[in-house]
Homo-oligomer: A and B are copies of this chain.
Amino acid sequence: MVEIIVAPNAGFCFGVKRAVKLAEESSSFTRKGVRVYTLGPIIHNPQEVRRLASKGVKPLEGEELKEGDAIIIRSHGIPPDKERELRKRGLRVIDATCPYVKAVHEAVCKLSEEGYFIVLVGEKNHPEVIGTLGYLRECGGEGIVVESLEDLKEAFKYEKVGVVSQTTQSEKFFKEVVGELALWVKELKVINTICNATSVRQEDVYRIAPEVDVMIIIGGKNSGNTRRLYNISKSLNPNSYHIETAEELDPSWFEGVKKVGITAGASTPDWIIESVRGKIEEICRELSYCS
């Protein structure tokens, strides 16, 4: 029988998987007549949002919330005053804030308490950044969001500067900011809060692709992170294929094959990965193609 290895970090990152799981579990409330909403789309994948909506868990879109409704905070998190407001209104709050994002909230407060002015490297309008700034205000800290080196100048007048980053920040810019700051301020403390989901997803491919006969990469043809996974795989194993859905699997790829590897880009839900695994097993079983 063919052996199929699914990369442990395929598809959604840990925080998104967790949020989707919490949303899925919350759908049970709807059977008790409770309305369940997510505060914004729980993930940037319309198929997955539709799937959850079919189970009764929908993004809040202007509906008036009432006491007893359940509201899910998505992985990005929200400012603490917003969360308190939801609780005050008698809503059931389900907190799916990514633990790595919670770590950023804790880091800015820890650094503030130690007397550091905060530099948060990230996008000013990103919901995660807005949430983190809320925590910074709450613990009485001061700081700025840095999107460009121009923004950074404001921090040069402080003696002690603490740096954290949006979890999805690019490493390149983060490195530039930290290097520049080190020259200007007297004392710099950096807590690297960049999430390594993208790099571990790639590391999986470096490890698995050379070990298998065929490597399948699932994800949008226009998804940058998926294409990078495919390019890495192709460089290590010529029998690498980039597909969007199980329908694109070609039985001829699996002739005489013993081991198949599967991975997927960041916006691919687990059920699409599972359908690809199932389809490969079916091909091997029905056509006795695989060894």
Copy total for this chain: 2
Taking A175-B179, A179-B179 as contacts, is the C-beta distance between A190 and B187 under 8 angstroms?
yes
Q: Binary interface profile of A, 183-217, with partner B (CB < 8 Å = 1, else 0)?
A: 10111111110100000000000000000000000
Q: Which of A174, A176, A179, A183 has the most CB of B within 10 A?
A: A179
Q: Which B residues are in CB contact (< 8 Å) with A179?
A: 175-176, 178-179, 182
Q: Is A274 an interface residue (CB 8 A)?
A: no
CB distance from A199 to the nearest CB of B (A): 10
Known: A175-B179, A178-B179. A187 touches B189 (CB 8 A): yes
Bound CA–CA A183/B192 (angstroms):
7
Residues of B within 8 A of A270 (CB): none
Please tell me which one of the listed residues B163, B171, B180, B187 contacts residue A183 in the complex, with CB atoms under 8 A apart.
B171
Is B192 touching A186 in the complex (CB atoms < 8 A)?
A: yes
Chain B residue with the shortest CB-CB distance to A171? B183
User: Which residue on chain B has the smallest CB distance to residue A182?
Assistant: B178
In the assembly, what is the distance between CA of A180 and CA of B176, in Å?
Answer: 9
By size class, the interface of chain A is 10 to 19
Query: When chains A and B are docked, how far (Å) is the Cα of A174 from the Cα of B178?
Result: 11
Q: How far is the CA of A275 from the CA of B191 in the complex (A)?
A: 53
Q: Which residue of B lies closest to A180 (CB)?
A: B175
A175 to B182 alpha-carbon distance, docked (Å): 7
For A191, the chain B residues whose CB sits under 8 A away are 186-188
B190 touches A189 (CB 8 A): yes
Chain B residues near A192 (CB, 8 Å)? 182-183, 185-188
A174 to chain B, nearest CB (A): 7
* Mask: chain A, 149-178; 1 = CB below 8 Å from B; 0 = not: 000000000000001000000010011101
Chain B residue at minimal CB-CB distance from A163: B182
Nearest-neighbour CB distance to chain B for A173, whole angstroms, equals 10
- Distance between Cα atoms of A84 and B171 in the complex (Å): 46
Q: Which residue of chain B has its CB nearest to the CB of A176?
A: B179
Chain B residues with CB under 8 A of A190: 182, 187-190
Q: Could you say which residues of chain B place their CB within 8 Å of the CB of A171?
A: 183
CA distance A191 to B182 in the complex (A): 8
User: Which residue, A174, A185, A190, A192, has most C-beta atoms of chain B within 10 A?
Assistant: A190
Taking CB atoms, residues of chain B closer than 8 Å to A175 are: 179-180, 182-183
B-chain residues with CB within 8 Å of residue A188 when the two chains form the complex = 178, 188-192
The distance from the CB of A102 to the nearest CB of chain B, in whole angstroms, is: 16
7 contacts between A and B (CB under 8 A): A176-B179, A182-B192, A186-B191, A187-B189, A187-B190, A188-B188, A188-B189
Closest 3 CB pairs of A and B: A179-B179, A175-B179, A188-B190
